[in-house]
Every structure is written in C-alpha cells, then in structure tokens.
Amino acid sequence: MATRTFEDVKRDFLKSNYSTWAENYEQDMQILESSSQRLAANSVSAHFTGDRESAAVLDVACGTGLVAEQLRQHGFTHFVGVDGSKSMLEIARKKGLYEDLKECLLGDQPLPLPKGSFDVVIIVAALMVDHVPVCVVRHLCDACKPGGYVSMVCGHGYNNLEYKADLERELKEMEEEGHWSCVEVLESENWARSASGAGDTYTSGSVYLYKKV
C-alpha cells in the first residue's frame, strides 16, 4: 500500500466517498490520529456488567471493523455489523469478527434487524452532517435490549456544530420520553486531526452512553 499524506486523507475525508475510500480508510484513520473507536469502546467497557462473551453487539456504520477490534480487546465476541458501503463491508468480512454483516443506508427506515435484540449498540464516525439524520438514534434504541447500552460518537468540527446541537436535543427528548437514561457523556479535546485545516490542529468530540429502560 502506497504511503499516504495528510493532504490525501483530507481530500478523501471531505469527499466522504466511502466506496472508493475503503482501501485506505484504516491507514487514514491512523494519519488523522482518530481516537473515537477506542474512546467509545472504553466507555462501554467501563459500564457493561453483563457476560461479555455472550453479549450481542450491533456495530452500526461499522466500516472496516475498527470498533469491533477495539471491543474485542475488552472481551466482547459476538458482533453484527451494518454499513452503507459494500466496499467497507468486504474488508470487515475478511477480518472474521462479525457473525453477520448487512448493507444498509442509515436514514428514516428502521434497521434491518429484530428490535430489542442487542446488549450493546454502538455507532462511531457516522453521526455528522451529510451522513445520517439525527432520527437514526431512535432506531439504535429500538435495536437495544432493555437494560442494554447505546454508545454514540459525535465530532465537534465547525461544520457539525448545528448537527451536534440537534443530536443532543433528540437524546434529551428521548430521555424525557422514558426510552433511556444517560450514563455518561465524555468530552475529548484531541479527538482527531482536523481534516478542514492544515494538519496541525485538532478537533474535539463527544461519546454519549445511554442505558435503555
């Protein structure tokens, strides 16, 4: 694989064409020094008290499987992945971590999975403008078992601030409606190198962990 530069990453990140980006995606996440997968997995691990070897995990917008790799280090072994990119799913499938992988564009339609089936539902690197609508968090909650956990990640890039505000309103509204309760919100200042800059600045981000009622 050819050596990638920050400018290469910046170009592909801003285009967000995951079908063509799949081959270089993992290398590019290293160049961006992305910590989102690790922080989300750490948050789940810190609060999950059930049997990890039998827990069912739904990895939404799973990409090439970076989140599953992190969660496996914490003892989770049963993964189902959903993503809208066939190219990303092909790479994830080769890793042999997932029991099932489904191609699905996240949006207004429910996830193609039975409701209330998963002990952990996690979404990383998708809750952002021009990727998935905020309403998808209701589908994440639907897929989770009562007493299970939903982990969500949202970056604070300059073009994602309005989306973040809408997301937090939706999360709060769902809590007020009695769907789930907030376990923790983690803030990270050095989330990843900013793809909108020259490579010398970092963007911040949040991990939201909720427990389904």
Nearest to 56 by CA among 152, 148, 179, 153: 148
- Residue 107 inside a domain? The answer is yes
- Residue 12 inside a domain? The answer is yes
pLDDT band at 76 (very low <50, low <70, confident <90, very high): very high
Residue 106 near residue 136, CB atoms below 8 Å: yes
| Helix intervals (H) in 95-194 | 136-143, 161-176
Res. 180: pLDDT tops 50: yes
Tally of structural domains, the chain: 1
- Residue 29 inside a domain? The answer is yes
- Residue 55 inside a domain? The answer is yes
Nearest to 85 by CA among 66, 108, 107, 61: 61
Res. 7: pLDDT tops 80: no
Residue 148 near residue 198, CB atoms below 8 Å: no
Indicate which CATH number applies to the domain containing 113: 3.40.50.150
Residue 23: predicted pLDDT = 81
- Residue 56 inside a domain? The answer is yes
Q: What is the helix (H) or strand (E) element at residue 31, kind and residue range?
A: helix 25-31
Residue 21 near residue 84, CB atoms below 8 Å: no
- Residue 85 inside a domain? The answer is yes
- Residue 59 inside a domain? The answer is yes
Domain of 20, in residue numbers: 6-212
- Residue 1 inside a domain? The answer is no
Res. 189: pLDDT tops 70: yes
pLDDT band at 15 (very low <50, low <70, confident <90, very high): very low
